[in-house]
Amino acid sequence: MYQRDQLIELLRSEALQLGDFTLASGAKASYYLDCRNLTLHPKGANLIAQGMLELIQSRGELPAAVGGMAIGADPITASIVTIAGQQDLPLKGFMVRKEPKGHGTGKQVEGPVKPGDKVVIVEDVITSGGSAIKAVEAARKFGLEVDTVIAIIDRLAGGEEAFAAVGIELVTLTTIKDFGL
């Protein structure tokens, strides 16, 4: 069972850094959330996977798969798929490369998914939504049906509006308000 308070505590102790930072979007910030410290942490990975799996299940029909932009979404995807497997749920994982491979099959979307599958994109931190939107676009180009992004934390910096503009619902486990920032 998902324990939101424990996730917030781990985010605070393992991922939140205060100072002067430049974000991927180019924006300046007084804090940084390094969620890799959490998605690659044994307790953090489990809390995130349990929380996201509960959100996915609460939305009705289980999608065929979860995945997102490599490298950030990979540990989240793996954790969710592992927990789903332990619960005997047929939820698969996939990954989206930043660009198609230049060799082999040349795919940008990798994993046991096929055009027409309904999928959920997972992400760690949402700021402007740029990375997750690129994952959505690549998944849709491959033929996957995407209408939801689930993230660990929303910085409340315009991401939700950016997703709405492309017909995607954003659902998060936490927001920056949970930290009083």
**Residues placed in the known binding site:** 97-98, 101, 103, 123-131, 155
Rounded Cα gap, residues 137 and 161, in angstroms: 16
Annotated binding site for 5-phospho-alpha-D-ribose 1-diphosphate: 97-98, 101, 103, 123-131
Q: Where is 68: in which H helix or E strand?
A: strand 65-69
Long-range pairs of 37-40 with CB within 8 A, sequence gap ≥ 24: 38/10, 38/11, 38/14, 38/124, 38/152, 39/72, 39/75, 39/76, 39/79, 39/124, 39/152, 40/75
Displacement of CA 117 from its chain's centroid (Å): 18
- In the chain, how long is the greatest CA-to-CA distance? 48
Annotated binding site for orotate: 127, 155
For the record, the structure tokens of 15 come out as 């991922």
